[in-house]
Amino acid sequence: MKKVINTSKAPAAIGPYSQAILSGNTLYISGQIPIDPATGKLVEGDITAQTEQVMKNIAAILDEAGFTFADVVKSTCLLATMDYFKPMNEVYARYYSTDSPARAAFAVQALPMGAMVEIETIAVKN
C-alpha cells in the first residue's frame, strides 16, 4: 500500500506528482529543486545556495515521513552543468558525513524553472 507524503515545509509539486510516496518501508522523494517553500520561488544565489535549499527541502520531506538522512540509500543528482559538481558535493557531504548513500550525478540540458540542481532521494527504514 502506498501513502502520499506532503508537507508545507517543502515546496508544493509543480506538476502532476507527489512530494514523496511511502511504500512499505521505502520512501521515494521526487526530485527537489531549490524552491523556497515560503515564497514558491527559486532561491537566489549560486550552486551552493541552491544545493543547500534542495537539501533543506529533502530534510523537510524526510522528517514529515519519520525518516532522517541516515535512512537514505540512494540519491540521483541532476546538474545544469558538471562545473557545479564540486560545489554541489561540498554541500551534499555535510548531510552525509558517514555511510553516504549510493548516488549518480548527471549533467542535463535544462532543469525546471532554470534551476542549477535537482536531487531525487530514496530512503529505507530497516
- Closest to 19 (Cα-Cα) out of 51, 56, 62, 77: 62
Q: Summarize pLDDT for 103-112 with one digit per residue, the tens.
A: 999 999 999 9
Pairing of strands 26-32, 20-23: antiparallel
Q: Summarize pLDDT for 22-57 with one digit per residue, the tens.
A: 999 999 999 999 999 999 999 999 999 999 999 999
Rounded CA-CA distance 95/78 in Å is: 17
Grid cell, residue 107, equals 549533467
- Is 66 strand, coil or helix? coil
Global confidence as pTM: 0.96
- CATH classification number, 2-124, choose in 3.40.30.10, 3.40.50.1000, 3.30.1330.40, 3.40.50.1820: 3.30.1330.40
- Domain positions in the chain: 2-124
Instruction: Calculate mean pLDDT across residues 110-118.
Output: 96
The residue type at 41: K
